[in-house]
Amino acid sequence: MKKKSKEDATPRSRNKKLFITTALAIIIMFILVAYILYIHPGQSVKPKAAIIDQLNSSMLSPISHFENITFVNATRDLLYDRFSAVDYYSDNATIEQYRRLSTEGYKLVVWRAHSALDNNSMFIAISTSEVYDPSSNEYSNYLESGQATLCKIVGVL
């Protein structure tokens, strides 16, 4: 018996195959969209931005505190042209807040912070507003794993 070639297929069978393929593609896309929305239900559809202004933190000493309201206002104005929400962090520029940044759904993060080169790892370290408490074990796992390091802001050049 001779096998049928694709050219021998009737228009009805081709339409049936096309319908089944299209239906499967739509079902798969629906499942993927539902899965993504299920995983991230709290994230807004509109893009968000964040300003992390550690230099303006009231927790810093006067020699390392650099308030700049012009920067904050101008940056907010520019970001609101493009983003639906702009969150501002200053006194709450903490390790815990930095850790949660990736889960907040930001499309852009503007950093205004003290930073330094970590000579041990050769990475740039971004400072927080927190004062280190050696009696607390709160961040010992970050320190031991090299994800955080201690620095002391001593003044300006």
Continuous segment of H or E residues that includes residue 71 = helix 69-80
pTM across the whole model: 0.60
How does the average pLDDT of the chain come out, rounded? 79
Span 69-119, pLDDT tens digits = 898 999 999 999 889 899 998 887 788 888 888 888 899 999 888 777 777
Spell out where 36-154 has E strands.
48-53, 85-89, 106-112, 115-118, 123-126
61 φ/ψ angles, rounded to the nearest 5 degrees: -70, 160
The yes-or-no verdict on residue 22 having pLDDT over 60 is: yes
Span 44-69, pLDDT tens digits = 557 899 998 888 888 777 777 788 88
How many other C-beta atoms are found inside a 10 Å radius of the C-beta of residue 149? 14
